[in-house]
Amino acid sequence: MATERSLILLKPDCVTKARCGTVVERFEQAGFRLAGVKMMRLSDEILADHYSHVADKPFFPEIVAFMQSAPVVAIVLEGDDVVAKVRSMLGPTNSKEAAPGTIRGDFGEDMMVNVCHASDSPENGEIEVARFFREDEIFAY
């Protein structure tokens, strides 16, 4: 097992439906550590960078509109094999396909309204954490 970092974004649906505490509690109960947390509104620039892999797709404006519809809570989550384990806890991206007991199965609605983003690899975890957090915003304790 390797200690890793994952960026978690509690999406606008999670924030507006007051599910942040429940989702964070699941991560903490699984043994992961919060190393950084902040609420923010996402700019066009950060969204274009974060979603650059789909920025040329016709649905990209919908992603931007949704992700800017309310603040998000950005989290640096640390732990052994955190990337794979968190993605398992979340369930598939499409909440309609997610099993009950997974975060998306319990709280998500569809492909976009799916509670949270999580890094998809340890390498992307480091890249995404650096995109949303300065080093002085990440804490060891």
With respect to residue 81, please indicate whether it lies within any of the assigned structural domains: yes
Both structure tokens of 93 = 């991206």
The count of domains in the chain is 1
Q: What is the CATH number of the domain that holds 89?
A: 3.30.70.141
- The answer to whether residue 65 scores a pLDDT higher than 80 is yes
Say if 60 falls within a structural domain. Answer: no
Average pLDDT over residues 84-108: 98
| Structure tokens, 64 | 């931007």
Sheet strand arrangement including 72-80: 33-40, 72-80, 3-10, 116-118
Residue with tokens 């997610």: 98
Is residue 1 scored above 70 in pLDDT? no
Confidence of residue 117 (pLDDT cuts 50, 70, 90): very high
pLDDT band of 130, cuts 50, 70, 90:
very high
Two structure tokens written together for 1:
């097992």
Residue 54, in any domain of the structure: no
Q: Which residues are catalytic?
A: 117
Beta pairing partners, 9: 74, 117
Structural domain contains residue 37: yes
Range of the domain at 99: 3-41+72-137
Does any domain span residue 99?
Answer: yes
| 110 pLDDT more than 90 | yes
Token duo for residue 136: 């002085």
CB contact at 8 A, 71 and 41: yes
Contact 70, 101 (CB under 8 A): no
